[in-house]
Amino acid sequence: MTQERTKINELAELGEFGLIKRVTAQAKIKNESTLTGVGDDCAVLSFPNKKVVVTTDLLTEGVHFNLVYVPLKHLGYKAVAVNISDICAMNAIPRQITVSLAISSKFTIEAIDELYEGIHLACTRYGVDLIGGDTTTSLTGLTISITAIGEADEADLVYRSGAKPTDILCVTGDLGGAFLGLQLLEREDQLFRQNPTVQPKLSGYDYILGRQLKPEARVDMRDVFKTLGVTPTSMIDISDGLSSEILHLCEESGVGCRLYEERLIFDPQVQKMAEEIGINPLVAALNGGEDYELLFTIPVNQHEKVRNHPDITVIGHMTRKEEGAMLVTTGGIQEIPLTAQGWNSLKK
């Protein structure tokens, strides 16, 4: 008895416009600011008395993701979430996205369906409308470009350039998990390449794997700030590592910083994985990136408002520019200049 083979549906069967119609069939309008979305030459948006924020992110196979261990559904979700994170870093509300793909012939219709399942899931999670995009052929693999659009009252917007020398430096959540999740996936991939009969050992690391494969944008923090009566003076999301993001705030605001090692908190799985591969979890937090938490400053007189919040940690304070950006080691024993060693897509 011969086993029937599952039919593989090539993208050429649909064509570009057939593919667009297929992947946008679930795109339902959720926001009043979206007057028209997919289906015309342009989307039409209306933001009466609001400021509009726009951000774009590009993800390329072999550079930003490895499809050997990254499920397409997770990739679609993550591609949206990292753009929404940039909107959150401006203290704005995400409203719309566009999605553009460059796709090679190795991808089937079902593979693109899986990718868009993650994209639509993220649209539902963050309440954003998919309003357009583009598709083209790639000779090398998959490239995803997403543009996110958000809105805010002018008074609510937070830039990188507003920190003052006496401000307190804060961070949401915990750091280092995404980087160590990536190290775990890379390690198991290498072992599998050496011996395909070996099963990956991922049990007990759900948290750091989730931080890498399915990060979440901090859309909740805008309401948290309002509830606490806190006014961030500067803010950035942590995509390239804590040290790089601190230096961005310092440069744009014209200030220095003191970051205290003993103030950083780490999830137990972060500590365990760091110990397994022989690094200090501090290294993962400073240089790893992809945590997509928010790093922000607030006036010193608002310290009491955040001091006991379970998801906000005060990790340092800003100083005069000439004092530099420094890491103060545990116990205040040593001050080490912060350096930008995080992700750099153009670095050799």
How would residue 45 be classed by pLDDT, with cut points 50, 70 and 90? confident
pLDDT at residue 7, rounded to an integer: 57
Q: Considering only the top CATH level, what class is 168-337?
A: alpha beta
Q: Could you read off the pLDDT of 299-318 as tens digits, one per residue? A: 999 999 999 999 999 999 99
Host H or E run for residue 136: strand 129-137
Per-residue pLDDT tens for 82-91?
999 999 999 9
* Model pLDDT, residue 193: 87
- In the β-sheet with 129-137, what is the strand arrangement from edge to edge? 51-60, 142-152, 93-103, 129-137
Residues 6+ apart with CB under 8 A from 17: none
Query: How far apart, in whole angstroms, are the C-alpha atoms of residue 96 and residue 147?
Result: 8
| Residues pairing with 40 in the sheet | 38
Residue 346 is predicted with a pLDDT of 42
**pLDDT higher than threshold 80 for residue 20:** no
Q: Are 189 and 65 in contact (CB under 8 A)?
A: no
User: In sequence order, what are the beta bridge partners of 103?
Assistant: 137, 142
Q: Which residue has the higher pLDDT, 288 or 347?
A: 288
CB atoms within 10 A of CB 160: 20
Residues of the chain with CATH 3.30.1330.10: 14-156
Residue 46 is predicted with a pLDDT of 80
- Model pTM score: 0.89
What pLDDT score does 343 carry? 47
What residue ranges of the chain are covered by domains with CATH 3.90.650.10? 168-337
What pLDDT does residue 32 have? 80
Residues 83, 115 contacting (CB under 8 angstroms): no
pLDDT digits (tens, 9 = 90+) for 268-307: 999 999 999 999 999 999 999 999 999 999 999 999 999 9
pLDDT for 158 beyond 80: yes
Quote the CA–CA distance of 236 and 239 in Å, as a whole number. 9
**The predicted structure's pLDDT at residue 198:** 81
Q: Determine the CATH number of domain 14-156.
A: 3.30.1330.10
Strand partners, 142: 103
Residue 154 confidence (pLDDT) above 60: yes
